[in-house]
Chain A
Amino acid sequence: GENVEQHPSTLSVQEGDSAVIKCTYSDSASNYFPWYKQELGKRPQLIIDIRSNVGEKKDQRIAVTLNKTAKHFSLHITETQPEDSAVYFCAASQRALTFGSGTRLQVQP
Chain B
Amino acid sequence: DTAVSQTPKYLVTQMGNDKSIKCEQNLGHDTMYWYKQDSKKFLKIMFSYNNKELIINETVPNRFSPKSPDKAHLNLHINSLELGDSAVYFCASSQASGYLPKAEQYFGPGTRLTVT
A residues with a Cβ closer than 8 A to B are 31-32, 34, 38, 42-46, 49, 87, 89, 93-99, 101-102
Contact = CB atoms under 8 A, between A and B. Distances in A.
Interface in B44-79: 44-45, 48, 55-56
Given A42-B109, A97-B45, A101-B40, 6 more contacts: A38-B41, A43-B108, A46-B105, A95-B55, A96-B45, A99-B42
B104 A96 contact: no
B44 A93 contact: no
Contacts, number: 49
A102 B104 contact: no
Contact of B41 (A43, A49, A87, A98): A87
A96 B102 CA distance: 10
Contacts of B8: none
Nearest to A31: B100
Contacts of A49: 104
Contact of B107 (A44, A96, A101, A102): A44
A44 to B, nearest CB: 5
Contacts of A93: 101
Given A99-B43, A102-B41, A44 B101 contact: no
B107 to A, nearest CB: 4
Contacts of A32: 100-102
Contact of B101 (A38, A87, A97, A101): A97
13 contacts: A42-B109, A43-B108, A43-B110, A44-B107, A46-B105, A87-B41, A95-B99, A95-B101, A97-B45, A99-B42, A101-B40, A102-B41, A102-B43
